[in-house]
Structure 1
């Protein structure tokens, strides 16, 4: 079977980004966040590369993601932070996976798992410092810390970390950012009053790690930057995009002016031109909303999408280019050859690069360059 599409993952770029981030972190450790299948790049491959080039921790969203890394033989310290209220945690403790907890209920479930398995649960207490998403709100901190101390003294929990997440680390002038930094310091002080001294404090995401030193603490969490997307608007830190998505052109046809293209049609050619059929569609991660703005690169020339994006295919208007079936059309890449970038696609689709990268579907095979 010959693949019509592929996402080429440059592991040298991941290695470079990991080194840049680790160097920036300085004495702090670096967590490689490989949730959502490594932002669409492949979690085990990214995890191994990042660990080989400066990462000291792995971070994932779900229990299933954490267990999958262990099944791949990855034994590095790993934190997961999203789980069902019915989660028992037995497998998690047996796999030596750290767990985030932002409620007394979660602490009790972890303690129960510790009693059943005879293993101490490694816990990172999560505080809501103003994002209003995960973590304990300030009015629940005292109770959370009291129970954490009680269950720690009972030998069931090891309070290994204290953490939170920043809502807008990209803008150092945002008053809300500085409020969150102060709230985290207050949480740290409140934990100390309760008799807790977690050895790992972590607050910084990619943006904060790169341009907000006060947020780095003991560990920084590298997400989007690890994959080569510059996280701070207007600033560059020498990161290299790692994913290139491309597809072979399947068919070309010469058509006259006034030819309708794709569903509707709501697009008609304005001149005699050549159309090229490309086997990428919204099931593969091409945003439908980007039609009318987006282009793919063919032979270094950007060619616009003609008509609507279908589930499995798009049509390009390649003009008078000498395009043939079997030529490659590049959806996005590093931009070195003039091709669009994931950031440009995010702009066309009105979203962020995270969604573009994680949206590349599973039926697009990943090919790895070492």
Structure 2
């Protein structure tokens, strides 16, 4: 295939801007921290920041890792950027030099951050993580008082400054999320009793931030919804739509089937046989997925170069990314983020 016969991921600037505005209205007065992990959920960190450049009030970003945080910092010199992945000592040093805020969820990482801060004569700005039940990093509640005492000593020594308390929600059920919120509130009480009162508190994930206002704190750390990716098994989100639309051209047309120029080597899951795609004649089913092409049911007049939409807003009968993900028991983010560089990215209005 030549350069014009390859898959294309169209990225809508207008849709991203509208999504972010809708999320901010929904969560107000909480502040949005836009999550940028996995190259901004496969949309491209730099593209997202440029698309949102006309919004100076958006100045909080969650980068996950230090490298992504540095990319955000290059585009947003004055923004607050939170890198929550446990990092190497070299990455910690780079984060402190770049003015990134670090997430700390265990004693060993705390001590490594303190050692680097001491060596570089820096004060690390940190968000402390309590494990509220997801068990994805975080200090266990029974160890929290001793951890807070160690943090208090480090803050008094000028090695760190606690700017936040945070955690993840499992979003397994309302009852479990309520229990997590109780653990979170108690952790904050322990911090305040020690004389540490972080300005930022953030517990909720995208769906909980949207649907359960009682769980919102001063900051909402949201990624998927801003990119128009709804939760698996979740409802449509009012005012939110997919930013990314994946399409590929017909490369061979026959009487009963057509071959489309996208396959497993482009990052499209090979076990999505049977899923619908959008065509000029409406939805058609996928019959087979190979390395570089897939076969779908034909339509009258199909010809080479016709566009087939794999996922998007549904204009041609295609599913959204989450609908594809639900077929293979995963989340919509994975469908988007696994696409390889062989898929061209094109910005649209």
TM-score (norm 1): 0.88
**Structure 1 222/248 Cα, relative in aligned 2: closer, same or farther at 3 Å?**
same
Asked if 1:361 corresponds to 2:343, the answer is no
* Bigger mean CA deviation after superposition, 136-145 or 1-10: 1-10
Q: Which runs of 5+ in 1 are unaligned?
A: 255-272
Q: Choose which of 61, 65, 68 in structure 1 pairs with 2:64.
A: 61
- Contact 1:229–1:241 (CA under 8 A) maintained in structure 2: yes
Asked if 1:144 corresponds to 2:147, the answer is yes
Match of 2:118 in 1: 115
Cα distance in structure 2, aligned partners of 1:304 and 1:74: 47
Cα distance in structure 2, aligned partners of 1:165 and 1:147: 23
Q: Choose which of 259, 270, 284 in structure 2 pairs with 1:288.
A: 270
Alpha-carbon shift at residue 339 of structure 1 (Å): 2.1
Alpha-carbon shift at residue 25 of structure 1 (Å): 1.9
Match of 2:205 in 1: 205
**Structure 1 253/300 Cα, relative in aligned 2: closer, same or farther at 3 Å?**
closer
* Bigger mean CA deviation after superposition, 17-26 or 298-307: 298-307
Asked if 1:8 corresponds to 2:10, the answer is yes
Q: Choose which of 278, 288, 294 in structure 1 pairs with 2:260.
A: 278
**Structure 1 20/362 Cα, relative in aligned 2: closer, same or farther at 3 Å?**
same
Alpha-carbon shift at residue 28 of structure 1 (Å): 1.6
TM-score (norm 2): 0.93
Structure of greater Rg = 1
Asked if 1:246 corresponds to 2:217, the answer is no
* Bigger mean CA deviation after superposition, 234-243 or 220-229: 234-243
Aligned length: 345
Q: Choose which of 298, 309, 312 in structure 1 pairs with 2:292.
A: 312
5 Å-filtered alignment, 1:140-219, equals 140-168=143-171, 171=173, 174-219=174-219
Match of 1:262 in 2: none
SS in 1 for 2:111: helix
* Bigger mean CA deviation after superposition, 22-31 or 54-63: 54-63
Q: Which runs of 5+ in 2 are unaligned?
A: none
Match of 1:261 in 2: none
SS in 2 for 1:119: coil
- Contact 1:306–1:314 (CA under 8 A) maintained in structure 2: yes
Deviation per residue, 1:43-85 (Å, 9 max, x gap)? 1222343464453311122122212322445541111111345
- Contact 1:276–1:316 (CA under 8 A) maintained in structure 2: yes
- Contact 2:89–2:113 (CA under 8 A) maintained in structure 1: no
Cα distance in structure 2, aligned partners of 1:2 and 1:289: 26
Q: Choose which of 303, 324, 328 in structure 2 pairs with 1:349.
A: 328
Cα distance in structure 1, aligned partners of 2:330 and 2:111: 38
Alpha-carbon shift at residue 86 of structure 1 (Å): 4.8
Cα distance in structure 2, aligned partners of 1:140 and 1:100: 17
- Contact 2:278–2:314 (CA under 8 A) maintained in structure 1: no
SS in 2 for 1:346: helix
- Contact 2:163–2:199 (CA under 8 A) maintained in structure 1: yes
Alpha-carbon shift at residue 362 of structure 1 (Å): 2.0
Cα distance in structure 2, aligned partners of 1:324 and 1:239: 33
Cα distance in structure 2, aligned partners of 1:294 and 1:71: 40
